[in-house]
Amino acid sequence: MSREGKKNKKPEWAQKFEERGREYSRTNREDYRGVGRILGHLFAVLWLVIFFYVINKYYGSINFLTDDFKAILWLLNISLVFAIFSNLLQAFVQSSFLRHFLGFVGNIVSIIIFYTAYVIFPFNASGDTVTLTRVILIFMIFGTGIGMIVDFVKMLRGKN
């Protein structure tokens, strides 16, 4: 056997130890991803529920919202309930098709909300702030539209 062969060859005990380490790491990483995914979705549900409560209870005392906000509040509530349902479902069901389908539907709802906010404009703003806010809403509509197309294509192709 050449010198290089002896140099690169590990003792049998070291090879077994290394293989067990890789196996343990791989198993724990997969479990952690599952737990992290579940906790992430449940954490999102918690924040969505808090936001739902705050926006419905205190929207009248938020300075930058006008009385016209009532006209889009029901849409925002539908979106929040859908997001809560979506996150709860994804916390316990792991499916790329489901993830992309829910993302696609969520993006459609978001575009409707952004467009309605653009038309009704329930914000207390003036001058350049109005223009800037409308431009941001337009970018949000286009960005969400791109996300919607991506989710639709990935849903059809079955890709992550």
Q: Along the 160 residues of the chain, how does pLDDT read in single tens digits?
A: 555 555 567 888 878 777 776 765 555 454 446 788 899 999 999 999 999 999 999 988 888 899 899 999 999 999 999 999 999 999 988 888 999 999 999 999 999 999 999 999 999 888 899 999 999 999 999 999 999 999 999 999 876 6
- Domain ranges, residue 153: 8-157
Could you tell me if residue 1 is inside a domain? no
Residue 38 carries which side chain, given as an amino acid letter? I
Could you tell me if residue 90 is inside a domain? yes
> Which residues face 123 on adjacent strands?
65
Count other C-beta atoms under 10 Å from residue 48's C-beta: 20
Could you tell me if residue 3 is inside a domain? no
Given phi > 0 = left and psi -120 to 50 = alpha, else beta, which region is 66? beta
Distance CA 45, CA 51 (A): 10
For residue 160, the SS3 value is coil
Choose among 132, 158, 42: nearest CA to 140: 132
Could you tell me if residue 45 is inside a domain? yes
Residue 39 carries which side chain, given as an amino acid letter? L
Could you tell me if residue 117 is inside a domain? yes
Could you tell me if residue 151 is inside a domain? yes
Could you tell me if residue 2 is inside a domain? no
Number of domains composing the chain: 1
Could you tell me if residue 79 is inside a domain? yes
Distance CA 94, CA 33 (A): 11
Count other C-beta atoms under 10 Å from residue 114's C-beta: 22
